[in-house]
Structure 1
């Protein structure tokens, strides 16, 4: 059986479509664990109505504590041999579960991701080739890291999660990355499949599109902690994560000149900044970041980001 965990907070407009896509799956041996995180809209009422029609839907309610707490509640109540996570505003292609279960020998199965935006009329598919990977190949694939580091699009084994007490951290940003990397560090066989079965709805109110105060303080611990936990020794894998955090900070503050410069100075003063090296970067965008920071051309960096991300 598969336990499908859905954290829910004020997604009354989308949760019905999400659940209907699950109830329409070709594989039927699953439970749907919906954890309401203190919604103030009609989200819970929508789920309760669907539960009347299908007992595989189970509802748990929390006081508002964030997505990590909600997902952990789901893990604590899961009964399946396998675990997968779905966000309340996303949907699944009708044979998604069946395709993931086609690789039962794997410790982790990763599906491709389709991004949809009605406002932009955009469909973007990521990954799409069958590969068997080890830990380093999986987590530090430069092209596909954005999908590898999110918790959805994957089928996990419950026994690995339970045996190693893997849980979500209560973070404002990056909770997915820590969970996935912790899990993958206990895997021997990871399979990425040539299939796009998870549909991610791009919404304007998603966290990645919100302005976050003190963004560098929020994202800097990600490469720092992962460097220590996985003994990356400030190598090329660490630098990729570190520059990714820098990019998130720059993007977040590109329209706030004073704050942008303050965060650039804070980044340059960071203890790990001295480990940045041109020799560790393969991507042109990463090389540009390193060069401009080394030359202290922070104003040019801001102009560049404002032009690229209008």
Structure 2
């Protein structure tokens, strides 16, 4: 298997060396690394170029491409550009502050080949908190265990639209290239765009009759908790909080799973907004403005969360 890893890069000078190091430390090296610099304003690009130069001998068998965007367009745009340039047959996105365990690509290759898996979701370990998601104990009745670390889904759409599941956090999916060719990230910098993207990729896959979806636990993807990241961003006004694309894309959908996902996303989004708005008055304005959305979607979510 030829693994292409796409790294969207924006102002991650402090962390990007660790991310790149985790790739050259792999027991199975990636075939290709594509770094898309989204017009960083810090030393991110300098750190990348220094790392590549310093580790030239270890990168000699890896195709490396650095793309410099002329303007800041957001992580979705950077991922789309990166995917378009890939030439491998297995694709993953790796955020520039996260790291892969040294055995991830080797284990992924064995897993995908032995079990004919085309869409592999990775369990994640947050650091430095060491919390692990998803919590298998919460969803074990919905899974079939294939080995100590690998599971398949009895009803994939039911599980991934559960409030106990996380897909899109830390770009925790590895796919066969063919699955992602017709689906694009939303290119506006919108919260929860990863959930929207991977859900659409999975739906496209399932609509074509392919159900080879796996969940790999084992702490192979480590997601860094960074101050100032989208999930920890503070807002002065409720207007500053973008609506997640799932809520607008499936606004009028009658599909059962679309509506389940809307309920999960709305619940997380509302919690995020109320936790990160700086004043009580702005929290009240947020609730007032989205009252109908909040009541309708949360009502459906609580009805169907089991």
TM-score above 0.5, yes or no? yes
* In 2, Cα distance between equivalents of 1:148 and 1:233: 14
Q: CA deviation at 1:165?
A: 3.7
Shift >4 Å, 4+ stretches: 227-230, 233-237
- Higher RCO (CA 8 Å, separation ≥ 6 residues): 2
What are the residue-to-residue correspondences of 1:19-168 with 2, within 5 Å?
19-52=20-53, 53=56, 54-55=59-60, 56=62, 57-62=64-69, 63-101=71-109, 102-104=111-113, 105-117=116-128, 122-127=129-134, 130-133=150-153, 134-144=155-165, 147-150=166-169, 152-162=171-181, 164-168=182-186
What are the residue-to-residue correspondences of 1:197-276 with 2, within 5 Å?
197-212=220-235, 213-214=237-238, 218-219=242-243, 221-228=245-252, 231-232=255-256, 236-253=260-277, 255-270=278-293, 273-274=295-296, 276=298
Q: How many residues align?
A: 274
User: C-alpha deviations, 1:33-80, integer Å up to 9, x for none?
Assistant: 111111122221222233331242211110211111111110111111
Say if 1:232 and 1:199 are closer, same or farther in 2 by CA, change over 3 A: same
The answer as to whether partners of 2:185 and 2:193 remain within 8 angstroms in 1 is no
Instruction: Provide TM-score, normalisation by structure 1.
Output: 0.79
- Structure 1 regions of 5+ residues with no counterpart? 284-310
User: C-alpha deviations, 1:227-268, integer Å up to 9, x for none?
Assistant: 546723885554333323322222222x41111111111122
Say if 1:205 and 1:265 are closer, same or farther in 2 by CA, change over 3 A: same
Does the residue aligned with 1:277 lie in a helix, a strand or coil?
A: helix
- Structure 2 regions of 5+ residues with no counterpart? 137-148, 206-210
Instruction: Provide TM-score, normalisation by structure 2.
Output: 0.80
Q: CA RMSD in A?
A: 2.5
Deviates more, 1:243-252 or 1:3-12: 243-252
* In 2, Cα distance between equivalents of 1:240 and 1:45: 40
